[in-house]
Structure 1
């Protein structure tokens, strides 16, 4: 394949050869369920994920933390399997299984030998459709989640990123904490979370993505059987849930600069400005820009701030893209007496890449790194599975390695300079945690 494969919601079947001899297949069932698979030659395992486009941004005030609460509760048993049975199904065959909640989706996933893929389909189908949300288990898991929140509160890096998102996005739902707050979890009731589960876990919202050694037709048959056994009506006609609006969405920060006092050895900093949304066509030069600026040990920030001046141990640039908004910036940690100088040097590097762009040599290095990283990622069936899900849930198109490399190689230094200049002109927001000197505060206040 040398061009993207479109994934329209009204096309029931798709079957294509893609890079590396893999086979991409996709089925949209009459009920709206979507199954997308990538059969990889020579694979001896398969990674499977049941994705629901439901995250912290989708919750009302009364529901804060419900998506994450459900992620925990769906492992706690169904009418046919106890929590221990669920664990044993995977562990007796050496498989891995887990779940994750983000701001925009929840996924239940597993990695097993190809011969055990049918079992994984059965168990995950049972969990998605038939979890009991037993009241006793609900109360036990409430305590577990409160412990998880408390553990994160003890980690200054977790605290910094959570508070930065809250400050940066302000009242926009992307600023909400994924796990909720101690107050919202304490206030949750089993009946409210049950209602949340039944309203959102429905056929038209489910995407099942599988990568590895997979027989698409056999999996489709087993998936339908498992979901029907759980009580889902797959005969009712329905369209897949529309993909999220891809913006851009307006939001306003709360404050230009926030500091979180903590008794720590270092000052930790995040500097951020509005970035691009997930479907922005400039995401390739955006990624290449970040490689040059702060993507590794050869990056400008690492070389200038750490290697040349010894001001930090950790410094990197980042870009987080959501469906209707994004954030891009720099994160660093330094001793308080080095903070002001480190901030000045970071600011200088941001200004330099915006004004002068990157050299042809830096661009070629970034393109080579992107191609190599993309190829290496394909050695992981989990990475392939998540790429399939992102294609289906967010992008609306599948882009294989050949096309990804072609897009990188078509990027010019001017493309990178233009996107860097746009971000440099954006409104900066700063968040720090730990001790901070007056000189560092002055530098940040002048910057934002």
Structure 2
């Protein structure tokens, strides 16, 4: 049965559908249930653990906002912890903390996650609290005003962190006014006038059962988790008529990016922060495994080319690395460096030269082996806790439409060839590069570049 099907017995009423996705030798048994409402529940049973991570993932992020709504998804993330029809804000936090658990949430450009980590015996409590706050928040008017102030302070704090700000500046340089180029938090100009009614409308239109994936990993029983979730959601706005799960976000049409540009945010900082990069590939591109290897070789660790050249051999920067961001229909590839303002030109020259060299001549067999080893090792070591395993379940379902077994993923990395990486390097690194800079400069300082 595919993820878009809703099973119906002879009488015509919808029922939940459960199947085993994998019994992974490197993990536990993964099971998936689609509730009649279209909400999906995935679990990974790991009996050796004494904890459970439980997350509610919503396929809604900042890119789903219109211009005037910019920041609504993040605003809502804050507000859902402020109280429901059953609990106040203090009760939400104190009930979980009383058993030594922890709760938190985060908003990205394509999804929002609310999660808790507790002892296995306290999982029923975590399910009840987290389902309550996601499904039945009241969004009281006084809480909207309180959190507006908190978010405006968060935006101001972000503006005081140039090492973070430069990444947003780079996204804007590539995507312009497209939602992928906007701040996840919104801006003071969009958050200040946002009304409770606007947030409430966003909440009820976007937080629907087909858009939600619940994932849990640790010492648990799948059937018990499904039963507890259904009990917690009964009678809430997520207890709805039968529907099919929403498909994962489409990769077409691809996002149109801006021509290569230079964007400078003048600030009197002790260190200049620079990002040089270009549009990359989307998350379902078959070249993503080769990209992981290429990224490791260029700037993915202390043995990488850029780290060795810029920091180890020349001492020009404390932090220098490359990274790739991938979305449903687009992506970014970039190099970041933080250095003294007087060293920016040299750092950029070295970075451009290294990217051009790899684009022209590729990487070596030894670098290929090291890059593949880094990809495999970081992935497997990242599965050493219940939180990362819970995230893997949800992202597989929400972003990719399937959960790739660990052995298969490792095999896909092993299958990457030198030709694969070098062909990608010639394509990707030969693209026109955008530059984002935060530091004591104006744009005229980079006009010739």
Q: TM-score, normalised by structure 2?
A: 0.94
- Find the aligned partners of 2:237 and 2:206 in 1 and give their Cα distance: 15
Task: Determine if contact 1:294/1:315 at 8 Å carries over to the other structure.
Answer: yes
Matched with 2:364 is 359
- 2:197 maps to 1:191: yes
Q: Which SS does the other structure have where 2:54 is aligned?
A: strand
Name 2:179's counterpart in structure 1: 173
Residue of structure 1 equivalent to 2:233: 227
Determine the C-alpha separation between the residues in 1 that align with 2:147 and 2:280: 36
Distance 1:396 1:366 in 2: 27
Deviation at 1:143, TM superposition (A): 0.6
User: SS of the counterpart of 1:127?
Assistant: helix
Whole-angstrom CA distance in 2 between matches of 1:407 and 1:205: 29
Q: C-alpha displacement at 1:248, in angstroms?
A: 5.4
Residue 95 of structure 2: aligned partner: 89
1:210-225 mapped onto 2 (5 Å cutoff) = 210-225=216-231
Q: Is the 8 A contact 1:125 1:227 kept in 2?
A: yes
Query: In the alignment, what sits opposite 2:12?
Result: none
Q: Matches of 1:255 and 1:309 in 2, distance apart? A: 28
CA distance in 2, matches of 1:425, 1:232: 48
Paired residues of 2:53 and 2:115 also in contact (CA < 8 A): yes
Alignment partner of 1:395 is 2:381: no
Structure 2 matches for 1:53-202, cutoff 5 A? 53-202=59-208
Q: Kindly indicate whether residue 352 of structure 2 is the aligned counterpart of residue 347 of structure 1.
A: yes
Following the alignment from structure 1 to structure 2, what is the Cα–Cα distance between the partners of residues 433 and 21? 43
How far apart in 2 are the matches of 1:440 and 1:314? 23
Partner of 1:3: none
Structure 1 gap ranges (5+): 1-5
CA deviation vs aligned residue, 1:347-369 (integer Å, no higher than 9, x gap)? 11101211222111111112222
- Please point out which of 25, 31, 42 is paired with 2:37: 31
Does the CA contact (< 8 Å) of 1:343 and 1:440 recur in 2?
A: no
Query: Could you give the per-residue CA deviations for residues 246-268 of structure 1, whole angstroms, max 9, x where no partner exists?
Result: 13513232761111111012221
Instruction: Report if the CA contact (8 A) 1:23-1:39 is conserved.
Output: yes
Q: Secondary structure at the match of 1:368?
A: helix
Residue pair 2:47, 2:220 contacting (<8 A) in 1 also: no
- Tell me how far 1:438 sits from its aligned partner: 9.5
More displaced 10-residue stretch of structure 1: 335-344 or 108-117: 335-344
How far does the alpha carbon of each residue in 1:53-101 deviate from its partner, in whole angstroms, 9 at most, with x for none?
1111101123111100110000001121110000011101111110100
- In the alignment, the residues of structure 2 paired with residue 7 and residue 384 of structure 1 have an alpha-carbon distance, to the nearest angstrom, of 23
Change in Cα spacing, 1:436 to 1:374, as seen in structure 2 (3 Å) is same
Residue 216 of structure 1, CA deviation:
0.7
1:434 aligns with 2:429: no
Measured after TM superposition, the shift of residue 337 of structure 1 is 2.0
Cα deviation, residue 209, structure 1: 0.9
1:8 — aligned with what? Answer: 3
TM-score by length of 1: 0.94
After superposition, the Cα gap between the structure-2 partners of 1:232 and 1:393, relative to the gap in structure 1 and judged at 3 Å, is: closer
User: How far has the Cα of 1:344 moved from its partner?
Assistant: 1.1
Q: 1:432 is paired with a residue of what secondary structure? A: strand
Give the secondary structure class of the aligned counterpart of 1:398: coil
Question: Aligned partners of 2:272 and 2:163: how far apart in 1?
Answer: 11
Matching residue within 313, 319, 335 for 1:314:
319
Aligned partners of 2:427, 2:259: CA distance in 1, in Å?
Answer: 22
Pair 34,358 (structure 1): closer, same or farther in 2 beyond 3 Å: same
Q: CA deviation at 1:231?
A: 4.4
In structure 2, stretches of 5+ residues that fail to align are 7-16
Q: What displacement does 1:436 show? A: 4.1
How many residues end up aligned between the 2 structures? 438
Residue deviations 1:190-241 (CA, integer Å, cap 9, x gap): 111111111111111111011111211001011011111434334x111112
Residues in 2 aligned to 1:134 and 1:160: alpha-carbon distance in whole angstroms: 35
1:351-404 deviation line (CA, Å, top 9, x unaligned): 121122211111111222222212211112111111111100111121222112
